[in-house]
Amino acid sequence: MKNIVLIGFMGSGKTTVGKRVAAKLHIEFYDTDEAIRRCEKMPVYDLLQKKGKKYFEGAQRFAVSTLAQNENCLISTGGDTVMDEFNLTELKKNGILFWLRASAETVYKNTRHSATRRPGLANATPADIEAMMAERNPYYEQADFVISVDHNDMEKAADEIIEQFEKMKG
C-alpha cells in the first residue's frame, strides 16, 4: 500500500498532524529530520552548521530514499525536502503527497517561540516568511492534495488526509 507523505513549510503542523493520522490508521510514523538526527547523532541545524549544506543534502537524500522504501506508513518531511528533485521523485514513487498549506501568519504564530528548534526563522517576520514561501510553493504545488491548516484544527486536517487517502485506495 502507498505511503502518506506530508510536505509543507516548517511550522505548518506536519509532525502534529502526521502523528494523529498515523495513530488513527495504525501505521508507522517517520520524520525525515528525525531520521537524519538519529543517523548523524546531532540536530539538523547543528549538522548544517558543522558539516555544511552539501553534506546535509546527502544525509537528507539518504533518509528520504531509505524511508520511501517502506510501505503503508506516514512520512513527515523537512520544509525544504521536496526542493530537491531526487527527494520529490523518491517520495512520489510509493507515496501520496499532501501539502499542509499554511499562511505566513500561521507559520509565524506557530514558530515564533521555537527559535532554538527552528533557527532559520529566529528573527523572521511574516513578510520574511512570505518571501521564503514564495520560493518553495512551486515545489509544494506538486503534491497530490492540498490541506489548509490556517485554522489550526489539526484534528480536522488529519481527518481530511485520511478521507482523501481512503478515496485513493478505492
Predicted model pTM: 0.94
Structurally, the chain folds into a number of domains equal to 1
Query: Model confidence over 45-100: pLDDT tens digits?
Result: 899 889 999 999 999 999 999 999 999 999 999 999 999 999 999 999 999 999 99
- Tell me, what's the pLDDT at 120? 63
The answer, yes or no, to whether residue 43 has pLDDT greater than 60, is: yes
The answer, yes or no, to whether residue 149 has pLDDT greater than 90, is: yes
- Tell me, what's the pLDDT at 118? 55
> Radius of gyration over alpha carbons of the chain, in Å?
15
CATH (domain of 43) = 3.40.50.300
Query: Model confidence over 104-143: pLDDT tens digits?
Result: 999 988 887 665 455 566 678 889 999 999 999 999 999 9
Give me the numbers of helices (H) and strands (E) for the chain, helices first please: 7, 5
What is the distance between the alpha carbons of residues 17 and 163, in angstroms, rounded to a whole number?
Answer: 14
Integer CA distances (angstroms), 3 to 7, 45, 75, 160, in order: 13, 27, 7, 16
Residue ranges making up the domain that contains 158: 3-169
More confident residue, 74 or 170: 74
- Tell me, what's the pLDDT at 62? 98
Could you tell me the sign of the dihedral formed by the alpha carbons of 114, 116, 119, 124, in that order? positive
